[in-house]
Amino acid sequence: MKTRTKLKRGLLPSIFVAILLVALFVIAGVASAQESTGNVTDDEVNAIAKELYCPVCESTPLDVCATQACADWRDVIRTKLAEGQTEEEIKAYFELQYGARALAEPPRQGFTLAIWILPVLAVIVGGLVFARYIRGLRTAPVETGPNTIQTDFPDQNALKEKAETESDTYRERVERELREM
């Protein structure tokens, strides 16, 4: 019997507290819902959703994804905006929840920093290789023999251009010599 009364005594306040809590949550929920539909525009939500990707619909940014899951995600953004969170905070939340793949731009730290460095490296290395190749071509000896047959028929344009180039360089030389006089 003792235990029962003890139980009763413990039960009643906890039920009371639970009801109170539920009520509070409902009120808070209604309030926040009102706030969210009241203040946050779709455009504000989309502006952030544009830069996020859900893990399911690959290659489709969150703002255009038509699935229900993505609609729910957009609602999360809406709620967080209504709570006064900034764009950075919301993005950080999605990154924490779903990993770096939720971000449109790979973060510039850790391993994913590589994607920002690799292209620059590739262009630099490519540039060096190209420069070397060109220098090699510049100094390569002109071979004579069967290999030098390039075209089956003379290209009039090339000939004309060559003549033009030659006259151009000739004129340049004359002008230079005139200056030096």
Binding site residues, other proteins, CB under 8 A: 41-43, 45-46, 51, 53, 58-61, 63-64, 66, 99-106, 110-112, 114-115, 118-119, 122-123, 126-127, 130, 133-134, 137-143, 146-153, 155, 157-158, 161-162, 164-165, 168-169, 172
Return the number of the residue (1 or 142) whose C-beta is nearest other proteins: 142
Decide whether 65 or 80 has the Cβ nearer to other proteins.
65
Number of Cβ atoms within 10 Å of the Cβ of 52:
22
- Give least dist CB 84 to other proteins, A: 21
Residue in this structure with the two tokens 């509070």, named with its chain if needed:
24
Here the tokens at position 108 are 């510039």
Q: Strands, DSSP E only, in 94-170?
A: none
Question: Would you say 75 and 37 are in contact if contact means Cβ atoms under 8 Å apart?
Answer: no
> Could you tell me the smallest distance in angstroms from the CB atom of residue 14 to other proteins?
40
Least Cβ distance, residue 18 to other proteins (angstroms): 34
Q: Which two tokens stand for residue 33?
A: 């819902």
Q: Give the shortest CB-115-to-other proteins separation in angstroms.
A: 5
Compute φ and ψ for 173, nearest 5 degrees. Answer: -65, -45
Kindly report the CA angle at 44 between 43 and 47, in degrees rounded to 5?
Answer: 80
